[in-house]
Amino acid sequence: MADKSVSNHNPVPEIVVCVGGVVLHEGHILLVRQAQSHLLEGQWTIPWGFLDPGESPEAAAVREIMEEAGVEAEIEGLLGIQNLPDPWDGWFAIIFQCKHMNGVPKPDGGRETDRAGYFSLHDLSNLEVEIWCDWLAKRVLTGKQMLITPETSNPYFPKIAFL
């Protein structure tokens, strides 16, 4: 196994990667409301969370969508990468666009989320949506996003590349 340190004195830094999924269904976007004790308590966000060790970003996004909103989704493509602000400086998020496959939105029982649902562009004005998620939802719902679709001809296939 390869040594994961740059040298004996400079170990490779731990990097925190978050993943999120923008799930679309019949012109609506899936949002979850963050439960009590969450830093974003009471705010609506896209389903998101941490990348687990050994997990691919796309698998983590699909898992987080199921865990936080009870919806089965499929990755359509990569929306982008966002460097996160305080208090998460140094962290970044990988955001995927997904399509709804199955399930009715439901929160995880208050562990992380206390509400879940699909919302139209008009609905967003009546919700307390976290500022970045609001911006992202509006871009996607108005077709202003750029989607990078999976490239299956890459030499590492079936590992997914977005190029």
CA distance 162 to 79: 10
**Structural tokens at position 49:** 């969370």
CA distance 86 to 24: 28
CA distance 114 to 109: 6
**Structural tokens at position 79:** 């929306």
Residue type, 149: T
| pLDDT for position 2 | 43
Residue spans per domain, the chain = 17-141
pLDDT level of residue 15 (50, 70, 90 thresholds):
confident
**Structural tokens at position 116:** 């879940």
pLDDT digits (tens, 9 = 90+) for 43-96: 999 999 999 999 999 999 999 999 999 999 999 999 999 998 888 888 999 999
Could you list the beta-strand ranges (E) of 48-135.
48-50, 72-83, 92-102, 113-119
Q: Which CATH superfamily is domain 17-141 in?
A: Nucleoside Triphosphate Pyrophosphohydrolase (3.90.79.10)
